[in-house]
Amino acid sequence: MGFVRPAKSKKRLRTPTSRPSKRQKKDGAASTSSSECPSATSSRPTTPAQGVTVEVPTGSILERLPVEILQEVFVFSGVSSLPLTCKSINRSLRPSHSLRLAMLKTFVYDLNCKVRTDAYKTAFALDRDCLQYKFVNSKVLKEINFDIVLPMRSIVAESKNRLMLHYDSLNKRLLETLYLNNADADEINRELARMTEERSSMDDIQTEDLPSAEEFEDYPERFYTHFSQNHIEMAETLYNTGMRFKVSGKVMSMAISEHCDVKTLSRILKCTETGTITSVEPVISAFANDDLATVEWLLEMKADDADLINNDDLWIWIGQKKRTKFLKFLTDKGANPSHGIIGAISNNLHG
């Protein structure tokens, strides 16, 4: 009749997903019965239903850790390159305040860790090397409890020396007790042999191997070149633990070259060893900036024995620069340089 196409069935084909098979019905009934009874378990692995999205964990084990645990791993592992491994870990290890604080605490050491005594005023030491790291700022430094800043080898030596002195004190009291109790000679000799053996096992650290006070009491080099608010606050905090700018002329000269104002210069000067201007370098830097107001302040803050306005290096520098304004300024301040310096300056000015 023309209604039936050749090689075509009149029955509608079923798609595999249009109607579940008997096997699928059986599996579905089994899964339903197991869900109704919590104690029942299925021996076959279940597959997610069609249309349900299942999130599969991606990334390494470290990437899947909570941020707090990952930060703990980073702090105690000491692997400084860990944030560079991938972007997700880098985001988790951004230098937040809590992470900075946790990192800095690992650089604080108890000098009395094996000695339970109150005989020492300084109990906690901060490793000086950590001050070179950028993650250290003034805020976290103020929240850390430490009494002194020392290099690591000095921390080790001081801890060991305190332990040895503590052992000597205990052994001394032990011998006194034995003598008071009329102990026999054999017992006393055994104790003396034990003390000698213990003492020999504690190798004394040679004093010449330790850095001098001039070295570890001075600020690290970056404090001489950076004068942000953060660095100055850090310097003030460390000043209270015994650190000083040992080369005051250098730090003041660098700060003036960076055009720090008098208020900032005053804060830096208080962190120096003497608290006064003792060298002519800062004065020359102020003249180089054509900042006579700072020169006035420097002359007011000079040490009593520092004759800055008659310093030969200052007058030679002014003669080389041929700045007659500075000559008049110093003359008005009562400067009286030597005749040889005046002759050299005259030749420079008329040369």
Digit-coded pLDDT (tens) for 270-299: 999 999 999 999 999 999 999 999 999 999
- The string of DSSP codes covering 74-98 is HHHH--TTGGGS-HHHHHHT---HH
Higher pLDDT, 233 or 58: 233
Confidence of residue 253 (pLDDT cuts 50, 70, 90): very high
CB-CB contact of 42 with 31 (8 Å): yes
Tell me the domain boundaries of the chain. Answer: 95-209, 219-308, 310-351
Type of residue numbered 170? L
The contacts of residue 288 (CB under 8 Å, 6+ apart) are: 257
Dihedral class, residue 290 (left if φ above 0, else alpha if ψ from -120 to 50, else beta): left
Q: Which residue has the higher pLDDT, 259 or 135?
A: 259
The distance from CA 243 to its chain's CA centroid, rounded to whole angstroms, is 15
User: Strands, DSSP E only, in the chain?
Assistant: 108-110, 124-127, 148-150
pTM, entire model: 0.68
CA-wise closest residue to 311 among 337, 342, 333, 345 = 337
| Residues 30, 42: Cα–Cα separation, whole Å | 8
Q: Are strands 124-127 and 148-150 parallel, antiparallel or unpaired?
A: parallel
Percent of the chain with pLDDT over 90: 30
Which tokens in the block code for residue 179?
Answer: 């003598």
CB 123 within 8 A of CB 110: yes
CA distance 217 to 128: 9
- How many Cβ atoms sit within 10 Å of the Cβ of residue 160? 16
Angstrom distances, CA of residue 134 to CA of 92, 203, 223, 227:
18, 36, 12, 14
Residue reference for tokens 């003792």: 278
Q: What is the mean pLDDT of residues 182-200?
A: 85
Beta carbons of 97 and 140 less than 8 angstroms apart: yes
Secondary structure letter of residue 65 according to DSSP? S
Pick the residue with more confidence: 322 or 343? 322
Most confident region among 42-46, 178-182, 247-251 by mean pLDDT: 247-251
Task: Quote the tokens at residue 296.
Answer: 């006035």
Closest CA to 199 of 155, 153, 160, 157: 160
User: What pLDDT is attached to residue 213?
Assistant: 62
Q: How far is CA 257 from the centre of its chain?
A: 27
Per-residue pLDDT at 39: 44
For residues 282 and 294, give the distance between their C-alpha atoms in angstroms, rounded to a whole number.
Answer: 9
Alpha helices for 37-151 (secondary structure H) = 61-64, 67-77, 87-92, 97-105, 138-143
Is 268:244 a contact under the CB 8 Å cutoff?
Answer: no
Q: What is the pLDDT of residue 209?
A: 57
Q: Above 50 in pLDDT, residue 224? A: yes
pLDDT value of position 141: 93
Supply φ then ψ for residue 126, to 5 degrees: -100, 130
Structural contact between residues 295 and 329, judged by C-beta atoms closer than 8 angstroms: yes
Burial of 236 (0-12, 13-18, 19+ CB in 10 A): middle
